[in-house]
Amino acid sequence: MSSKVTGRPSSTGGTVKDQEIAVEQRYVDVAYERLEEMRADAQAMIREGYRQSLAGTKSSLVDRDAMVHQAALRAQALDVADDGLVFGRLDLASQEVRYVGRIGVRTRDHDSIVIDWRAPAAEDFYRATPEDPRGVVRRRVLHSRGHTVVDLEDDLLDPGAADGMTVVGDGAFLASLARTREGAMRDIVATIQREQDEVIRAPADGTVLVRGAPGTGKTAVALHRVAYLLFRHRRRFGSRGVLVIGPNRRFTAYIERVLPSLGEGSATLRSLGDLVDDATATVHDGPRLARLKGGETMAAVLRRAVADHAPGAPGELRVVFKGVVVTLERDRLDRIRAEVHRRSRGSVNAARGRAAEQLLDALWQRFNDLGGPEAAEAAEGAEAGLWNAILAADGLDPLDDEADRGRGGLREGDGDPKRAQFDARVREQRSFTDFLVAWWPIRRPLDVLRSLGDPDRLRRAAGRDLDRADVTPLAASWAGDGAPLSYQDVALLDEIDALLGPPPRPSRRRRAHTDDDPFVVDGVNILTGEEVADETWEPEMQELSTSMERLERSRRVDDGVVEERPEYAHIVVDEAQDLSPMQWRMLGRRGRQASWTIVEDPAQSAWEDLDAARRAMDAALGGERPSSRGRSRRGQRGGRGTAPRRVRNEYELTTNYRNSTEIAAVSARVLARALPEARPARAVRTSGIDPAVRVVPESDLAGAAREAVEELLGQVEGTIGLIVPFALEESGQLALQQEDPPVWTPAARERLADGLPERVQVLDVLEAKGLEFDAAVIVAPETVAAQSPRGLRVLYVAVSRATQRLTVLTADPEWERTLLTDRG
């Protein structure tokens, strides 16, 4: 028989638990000794790599590089594992004992000391339950501080097989849930629950869709899945990369420590606001603008916008050939522009060459309409006659007709050569090249978006796709060079980027022909848009890089130095319920061949048209290229640019690990109003602390918020979130929409935060997405609920952020009842 004991004194001194801890400590010490040896081996390998480089041959440099690179990664992983190396033990019915830890540790003879948590042999640690013990009798979780085991927690899964086994525990798992929050998410590798483990180890192909209420560990699970995928399929996912997408930058800052703490530094973490190079979102649009900007019709609007002439484009082209002035007016130019766009979808910038050819065609045609070569000869003849008269008056010989012909003068009946000469002469003219550069400029996405700050231009681009009333506020949000970019704007920039095609890039291997190429103006080939660098660069002159330099370089690539849009092998999307169709299109471009992990809670969605977002998500996950017409090409499978629809595995997480049962009850009441049919998750931890709801006059809300925070500072040790309504005027639209009094401006928030310690964050309801705090103060739920059609869902997000204490401040007594009493 076994019995569960908590701190019971043993006959040999100390408690039974202390003795068990001492036993485990001895084992853990052995694991650390071996870890030390493994680190020494890795360091020796790094030194050996450098030693080989002294041999000096090229192949040894390459070998050294690979060796140093691998050894550096290994050393890094070993360092990370140092904290809490061993966290689990399984006692199996077969008498086998397995220890589970952050990485695998083996003796020099390859016998296992610790199993990596991601290895198949560790699966039982997370999956075994009393109903399905999978051969496990006792599961033990070890809690360590550094190298020291400080606590134990046992689960007896098969009491019948536990003869003589000691079982200790005092709810350490629940205690771990109640721990103080320090402002950054931590890994949960020691306490992953079965339903979470099933998601983490789900098949690597296709799509994994995870749903769950707030606090069910969706984010934690998604991040652990990344570590799992990179461990089990390093070759596949490590080389092409894994992208993790979160809703905003606060959120990515909050989760950025989890993967490194699991030994994974190779995944790319981005928010929706900084996925596009050189563009960073700093504001959220209000509901109306977000709906307009995020809707898929915006794709058609932008397609028309890039097809329109750029601001300042000249309206007339005028060249002179053989004395004949040839002109193209705006109408003709517009038709040429439309034709070039029709023929060069998806690569507007690269189409300048085609534009030049079409202009030359049109000029030649116009030249012929004006009488063609005959007129030119007549004009030339008249000009020569005039010159000859002047020359004769000075007693000089007439102009040499033959010499002029030798330079390419016009002759009867030579067809194509005439055209070739026409083209050559026109191209040489500065008026032509200057026109081309101004009329078909190489455009940048931000320039195009800013150009839509002009309501007339936006109206042209909108066609019938936008209501007239929507044009003014949209244009206002983009007008002016300094206008802040919103999260939705970033997806629009990506769309424009896809329409424009790649910007000019230096072609390194080509030498410049600036002297003899009339289309090279100021170092740029104006036909292709390519910069023509005068390069003397030779591949063999480049030094072989060290592995550290290579690591550094790949990080710089992540930081946005490389301009091309990367594609990933796997994409994780957190808070996916909030993505707009345009944002899905942006992600789809980065994962045309990717498998996906999508994490969402539809009940938290602030997005109004979920069906449209679903369609856009399906298109992105199916690997469809977003259609430039702004509608997904459903039903077209396996065609050019499409990948076969992938298997989708769906999971639901049902336990709330964040909120106390008391706080969960309040958020369940909001959910019941927001979405009556939705089921709240089951909270597992009762704190005995009831949430507080205080009614204060509207004008006192800010002061009451300060007081509530100061009170909480004395009650919790960790983070405090002061969550206020969304400030609509941030995106410059309040005056136009008049949706809300401008109470919670950034300036007002700064005043609220003034003088408060760092562990207090003042943020609006949208920024609070995905975060958690020891204590939260929610200000003006009535305003949050009324701010948008999805206001109640936004409020539901806000009230489910706190782990220990929740204070709500309202000016409306009705809300006190709503939050504190269950509806009959």
Ligand X SMILES: Nc1ncnc2c1ncn2[C@@H]1O[C@H](COP(=O)(O)OP(=O)(O)OP(=O)(O)O)[C@@H](O)[C@H]1O
356/337 Cα distance (integer angstroms): 10
When asked if residue 659 is in the footprint of ligand X (CB under 6 A), the reply is no
When asked if residue 193 is in the footprint of ligand X (CB under 6 A), the reply is yes
For residue 698, the SS3 value is helix
Choose one: 95-103, 149-157, 207-215, 580-588; the region binding ligand X (CB under 6 A): 207-215
Choose one: 10-18, 184-192, 724-732, 750-758; the region binding ligand X (CB under 6 A): 184-192
Q: Which is nearer to ligand X, 354 or 793 (by Cβ)?
A: 793
CB of 794 to ligand X, least distance (A): 13
Tally Cβ neighbours within 10 Å of residue 749: 18
State the number of CA atoms in the 13 A half-sphere of 650 facing the CB: 4
Q: What Å distances lie between residue 4 and 8, 156, 161, 358, 780, CA to CA? A: 10, 9, 15, 86, 48
Q: Which is nearer to ligand X, 262 or 446 (by Cβ)?
A: 262
When asked if residue 658 is in the footprint of ligand X (CB under 6 A), the reply is yes
227/241 Cα distance (integer angstroms): 12
Residue from the set 5, 78, 177, 576 that interacts with ligand X by CB under 6 A: 177
If binding means CB under 6 A, how many residues of this protein chain bind ligand X? 22
Q: Which is nearer to ligand X, 230 or 664 (by Cβ)?
A: 664
State the number of CA atoms in the 13 A half-sphere of 649 facing the CB: 13
DSSP 8-state symbol, 319: E
Of the candidates 718, 722, 690, the one whose C-alpha atom is nearest the C-alpha of residue 708 is 722
CB of 602 to ligand X, least distance (A): 11
624/592 Cα distance (integer angstroms): 7
Q: Which is nearer to ligand X, 349 or 667 (by Cβ)?
A: 667
CB of 691 to ligand X, least distance (A): 17
Question: Which residues on neighbouring strands pair with residue 149, listed in sequence order?
Answer: 144
When asked if residue 767 is in the footprint of ligand X (CB under 6 A), the reply is no
159/802 Cα distance (integer angstroms): 37
Residue from the set 52, 53, 196, 349 that interacts with ligand X by CB under 6 A: 196
When asked if residue 772 is in the footprint of ligand X (CB under 6 A), the reply is yes
Residue from the set 219, 252, 547, 788 that interacts with ligand X by CB under 6 A: 219
Residues constituting the chain? 824
Cα torsion through 255, 259, 265, 267, rounded to 10: -70
When asked if residue 188 is in the footprint of ligand X (CB under 6 A), the reply is yes
CB of 62 to ligand X, least distance (A): 42
Of the candidates 602, 641, 642, 607, the one whose C-alpha atom is nearest the C-alpha of residue 622 is 642
Residue from the set 478, 584, 657, 726 that interacts with ligand X by CB under 6 A: 657
CB of 716 to ligand X, least distance (A): 15
Q: Is 215 annotated as a binding residue?
A: yes
Q: Which is nearer to ligand X, 219 or 580 (by Cβ)?
A: 219
Q: Is 216 annotated as a binding residue?
A: yes
Q: Is 280 annotated as a binding residue?
A: no
CB of 575 to ligand X, least distance (A): 7
CB of 791 to ligand X, least distance (A): 17
CB of 536 to ligand X, least distance (A): 54
Q: Per residue, what are the HEC states of 435-487?
A: HHHHHCCCCCHHHHHHHCCCHHHHHHHHCCCCCHHHHHHHHHHHCCCCCCCEH
Which positions ≥6 away from 552 have C-beta within 8 Å?
none
When asked if residue 192 is in the footprint of ligand X (CB under 6 A), the reply is yes
When asked if residue 129 is in the footprint of ligand X (CB under 6 A), the reply is no
Residue from the set 88, 104, 133, 214 that interacts with ligand X by CB under 6 A: 214
Q: Is 213 annotated as a binding residue?
A: yes
When asked if residue 774 is in the footprint of ligand X (CB under 6 A), the reply is no
CB of 141 to ligand X, least distance (A): 10
For residue 796, the SS3 value is helix
Choose one: 58-66, 192-200, 201-209, 672-680; the region binding ligand X (CB under 6 A): 192-200
Shortest-Cβ-distance residue relative to ligand X? 217
Residue from the set 88, 101, 104, 217 that interacts with ligand X by CB under 6 A: 217
- Per the CB < 8 A criterion, the answer to whether 415 and 372 are in contact is no
Cα torsion through 300, 301, 303, 307, rounded to 10: 140
Q: Which is nearer to ligand X, 659 or 807 (by Cβ)?
A: 659
147/61 Cα distance (integer angstroms): 38
CB of 780 to ligand X, least distance (A): 21
Cα torsion through 622, 627, 632, 635, rounded to 10: -70
CB of 251 to ligand X, least distance (A): 9
Binding track over 793-812 against ligand X, x by CB under 6 A: -------x------------
When asked if residue 352 is in the footprint of ligand X (CB under 6 A), the reply is no
Residue from the set 10, 176, 642, 654 that interacts with ligand X by CB under 6 A: 176
Q: Is 661 annotated as a binding residue?
A: no
Q: Which is nearer to ligand X, 237 or 657 (by Cβ)?
A: 657
In terms of Cβ atoms closer than 10 Å to its own Cβ (0-12, 13-18, 19+), residue 389 is exposed
Tokens at residue 801, please?
């952020």
Choose one: 27-35, 187-195, 320-328, 369-377; the region binding ligand X (CB under 6 A): 187-195
Q: Is 218 annotated as a binding residue?
A: yes
When asked if residue 680 is in the footprint of ligand X (CB under 6 A), the reply is no
Of the candidates 597, 544, 600, the one whose C-alpha atom is nearest the C-alpha of residue 577 is 600
CB of 607 to ligand X, least distance (A): 15
Q: Which is nearer to ligand X, 273 or 626 (by Cβ)?
A: 273
Q: Which is nearer to ligand X, 531 or 764 (by Cβ)?
A: 764
Choose one: 216-224, 372-380, 607-615, 727-735; the region binding ligand X (CB under 6 A): 216-224
Residue from the set 52, 144, 166, 191 that interacts with ligand X by CB under 6 A: 191
Site for ligand X in 587-606 (CB under 6 A): 601
Of the candidates 126, 149, 127, the one whose C-alpha atom is nearest the C-alpha of residue 18 is 149
To the nearest 10 degrees (0 to 180), the angle between helices 661-674 and 791-799 is 170
Q: What Å distances lie between residue 736 and 281, 408, 469, 487, CA to CA? A: 21, 64, 10, 20
Q: Which is nearer to ligand X, 308 or 600 (by Cβ)?
A: 600
640/346 Cα distance (integer angstroms): 15
Rg value, the chain, Cα: 34
Q: Is 217 annotated as a binding residue?
A: yes
When asked if residue 440 is in the footprint of ligand X (CB under 6 A), the reply is no
114/105 Cα distance (integer angstroms): 5
Distance, CA of 617 to chain centre = 15
Residue from the set 215, 353, 441, 626 that interacts with ligand X by CB under 6 A: 215
Residue from the set 74, 140, 211, 218 that interacts with ligand X by CB under 6 A: 218
Choose one: 212-220, 352-360, 380-388, 784-792; the region binding ligand X (CB under 6 A): 212-220
In terms of Cβ atoms closer than 10 Å to its own Cβ (0-12, 13-18, 19+), residue 735 is exposed
Of the candidates 27, 8, 32, 26, the one whose C-alpha atom is nearest the C-alpha of residue 18 is 8
Q: Which is nearer to ligand X, 475 or 664 (by Cβ)?
A: 664
C-alpha angle with apex 61: 56 to 63, nearest 5 degrees?
130
Q: Which is nearer to ligand X, 214 or 581 (by Cβ)?
A: 214
Q: Is 287 annotated as a binding residue?
A: no
Q: Which is nearer to ligand X, 99 or 657 (by Cβ)?
A: 657
The amino acid at residue 724 is V
Start-to-end Cα distance in the chain:
48
Enumerate the known binding-site residues.
Answer: 212-219
Enumerate the known binding-site residues for ATP.
Answer: 212-219
Residues that bind ligand X (CB under 6 A): 176-177, 185, 188, 191-193, 196, 212, 214-220, 601, 657-658, 770, 772, 800
